[in-house]
Amino acid sequence: MHIKINLFATLRKDRFDTDQREYPAGTTVLDALNDLAISESEAAIIFVNGKHAGPDHVMLDNDTLSIFPPIGGG
Amino acid sequence: MDKVQDFLKAHAEDDIVHRSILDEASRKFNRPPGFIEEAALKANLLPARYQRNRNTLSIEQQLALFKARVAVIGCGGLGGYVIEELARLGVGTIVAVDPDHFEEHNLNRQILCTLETLGQLKAAAATERVQKINPAITVGAIPQALRSDNAALILNSCDVVVDALDSIPVRIELARVCAELAIPLVHGAIAGWFGQIAIQLPGEQTVLDLLERCGDKKGIEKEVGNPAFAPAFVAALQTAEVCKIIVNRNSSMKGRILFIDLLEMHFEEFHFE
C-alpha cells in the first residue's frame, strides 16, 4: 500500500521532509518507524491523516503519516 | 466607587480617561491604581492606554481582562514575552512562577533578561517589568518550581494557565493538574526554528494526550537551542489564545495543535479526536 510520510524538525536530518513509500497491508506506525530508523522515543508525536495516533496504529492505503520529535523548550 | 466614577466621568474626554486623571483619582481617594482602573472600566470609561485596543476589544472585554487572573509557569523565553504582552493587553493579575535566576545564556532570547537583571530572580524581574508598564496590574511573583505538592495552591483561582516551561515532565504535571482543577491551559513549546501550540479547555486532556508519549524525554531544544524569534512568535500565539479564552470563554484552537516551522515558514495543523 501507498503511504505518504512527513517528517518534522530534526527528524529530517539525513532523511527527508516528505516521501512516498510502499508497505504491505497491515503495516503499523511502528513498522514504518523501524523502516525509517526512527526510534519510538524520537517519534514523540504521531499523526495519521491529521489525527493523533500511536505506534500500534494500523495504516491503510493512501494514509499520510506525520512524525514529530519532542519539543520542550521555553 | 461611585465617587471615584463620578470624578473620572467628570474629567473624561468623551469616554477616554488619561493617566494623569487616573493618578489624581488614586491620590484624591487614597485608592491603589488597580482599584481606579477597574472603576473606570466599570463606568464604561476607557483608560487612554487602551485606546488602540478599541474595536478589537470592547470596554466590557477590557474589564473582563482586567478582572482576570492568569498564571504564567516559567518566566524565561516564552514566559517573559507572554508576561509583557499580558501586561500591555490589560490582564489585571499575573502570577509569575519561576525558581531560576537570569544567566548570561538567557540574553539571546529572554526579554526580561538584560545586563541589569542578570543574577536576579526571573519572577522578581517580571514584577518589576510589569510595574514599569502599568502599576494597576497585580503581579504575584512565586520563585518556586511547580511541583505536584504546590501546583494546586499556585493555580488556585486562576482563570487561565500558560505553559511556558522548559521541561517536558513538568509540562505533563502541569497539564494533569489543570485538567483536575478544570482550568484552561495554553501550551507552547519551542526548539530551534520550530514551535508548537495547543490548548486544553476544562473537560479536555488535549495537552496531556499531546505529551503522553514524550514521557521523561529531553526535547530537541537540548540539541538545537532556542534563538530570539522562536519564543517571541510562539508567546504571541499563546497570548492571543489567553485573550480569547478570557473574553469569549472559548478558543478557536480547541482540539487542534499547530506546529510552526520558521525555517520553511510552514504552519501545520493537526486534530485531536
3-state secondary structure of B4: helix
Model ipTM value: 0.91
Residue among A7, A13, A46, A71 with most chain B CBs within 10 A, to mutate? A71
Query: Does B271 sit within 8 Å of A74, measured CB to CB?
Result: no
Residue type, B171: R
- Beta carbons of B189 and A32 less than 8 angstroms apart: no
Share of chain A above pLDDT 90, in %: 97
CATH code where residue A38 lies: 3.10.20.30
Q: Which of B167, B217, B221 sits opposite A44 (nearest CB)?
A: B217
3-state secondary structure of B198: strand
A74 within some domain: no
Contact status of A70 with chain B (Cβ, < 8 Å): yes
A73 within some domain: no
A37 within some domain: yes
Query: Does B192 sit within 8 Å of A74, measured CB to CB?
Result: no
Residue among B146, B270, B271, B272 with most chain A CBs within 10 A, to mutate? B270
Output Rg (C-alpha) for chain A, integer angstroms.
12
CA distance B16 to B18: 6
Q: Which residue of A has its CA nearest to B190?
A: A73
Is B68-271 in CATH node 3.40.50.720? yes
What are the pLDDT tens digits along chain B (273 aa)? 799 999 999 999 999 999 999 999 999 999 999 999 999 999 999 999 999 999 999 999 999 999 999 999 999 999 999 999 999 999 999 999 999 999 999 999 999 999 999 999 999 999 999 999 999 999 999 999 999 999 999 999 999 999 999 999 999 999 999 999 999 999 999 999 999 999 999 999 999 999 988 877 789 999 999 999 999 999 999 999 999 999 987 788 999 999 999 999 999 999 887
Domain count, chain A: 1
**pTM (two decimals):** 0.96
Residue pairs between chains A and B whose CB atoms are closer than 8 Å = 98
User: In the prediction, which pLDDT does B96 show?
Assistant: 98
3-state secondary structure of B194: strand
Contact status of B269 with chain A (Cβ, < 8 Å): yes
Q: Which three cell numbers stand for residue B268?
A: 501545520
CA distance B21 to B36: 10
User: In the prediction, which pLDDT does B91 show?
Assistant: 98
User: In the prediction, which pLDDT does B273 show?
Assistant: 73
CA distance A20 to A42: 20
Residue B203: left if φ>0, alpha if ψ -120 to 50, beta else—which one?
left
User: In the prediction, which pLDDT does B170 show?
Assistant: 95
Q: Which residue of B has its CA nearest to A52?
A: B272
Minimal CA separation from A3 to chain B, in Å: 18
Instruction: Parse chain B into domains and list their residue ranges.
Output: 2-57, 68-271
Enclosing domain of residue A20? 2-68
A63 within some domain: yes
Chain A residues inside the 8 Å CB shell of B273: 51-52
User: In the prediction, which pLDDT does B252 show?
Assistant: 85
- Beta carbons of B110 and B264 less than 8 angstroms apart: no
Contact status of B61 with chain A (Cβ, < 8 Å): no
A51 within some domain: yes
Closest to A74 measured CA to CA, from B102, B79, B192, B199: B79
Closest to A68 measured CA to CA, from A19, A33, A20, A28: A33
Minimal CA separation from A58 to chain B, in Å: 17
Minimal CA separation from A22 to chain B, in Å: 24
